[in-house]
Amino acid sequence: MKTFKMLSFDLVNEDGVLNIPLIDGIVINQENSRNSWILELFISKEHQTIFETYKESGDLIEVHVIISFPDNEPAPFKVVVSDIREIGNRISVLLKGTIKTKRNKYAEQLLKNLLNENLTNEELLTQFKKGMRERPRLKEL
């Protein structure tokens, strides 16, 4: 097993990307034949309802996590909520799933979409940097 520090956590859904501020977080690569990963978030209790809804439904959810260094690209995971524990006025959320190893050339697709928006060079650069940082869901061309 390998463990990594989680620096940022984004929940991706049909409404877009929801950043969940972390108090602390860890990512564990179980290095097994199923390519299993465990993500543990230590967060404010205000987000408990969101995760309880996913836990009850058992739905697979997409999340983007920045691991180890702030400049790293977000790693995409498909996970289920396995457990939620209250710790004072905070919660620990345990997620289990797999990393999406298939890279979809996000940067190229983002740039392709932005080129169709007739932006100035400066606007293009600004929107590209923002898109790479926030990772919005892209429409296919």
24-29 and 2-13 strand pairing? antiparallel
Judge if 38 and 95 occupy the same domain.
yes
User: Are 22 and 86 found together in one domain?
Assistant: yes
Interval 81-134: pLDDT, tens: 999 999 999 999 999 999 986 555 778 888 888 998 989 999 999 998 888 877
Cα–Cα distance for residue pair 122/120, rounded to 1 Å: 5
What was the pLDDT predicted at 104?
Answer: 57
| CA atoms lying within 13 Å on the CB side of residue 75 | 22
Residue 33 scores a pLDDT above 50: yes
State whether 94 and 44 are in the same domain: yes
40 shares a domain with 87: yes
Residues 95, 110: one domain? no
pLDDT reported for residue 41: 97
Shared domain check, 51 and 24? yes
pLDDT, averaged across the chain = 90
Question: Looking at the structure, do residues 21 and 89 belong to the same domain, yes or no?
Answer: yes
141 domain residue, yes or no? no
Residue 55 lies in a domain: yes
Domain that holds residue 123: 103-135
Q: Per-residue pLDDT tens for 90-105? A: 999 999 999 986 555 7
Same structural domain for residues 91 and 130? no
pLDDT, residue 101, reads 63
Tell whether 51 and 27 lie within a shared domain: yes
Q: What is the pTM of this model?
A: 0.73
Q: Where would I find the H helices in 12-63? A: 48-57
DSSP 88: T
Distance set, CA 64 to CA 10, 47, 76, 123 (Å): 5, 17, 5, 25
CATH of the domain at 81: 2.30.110
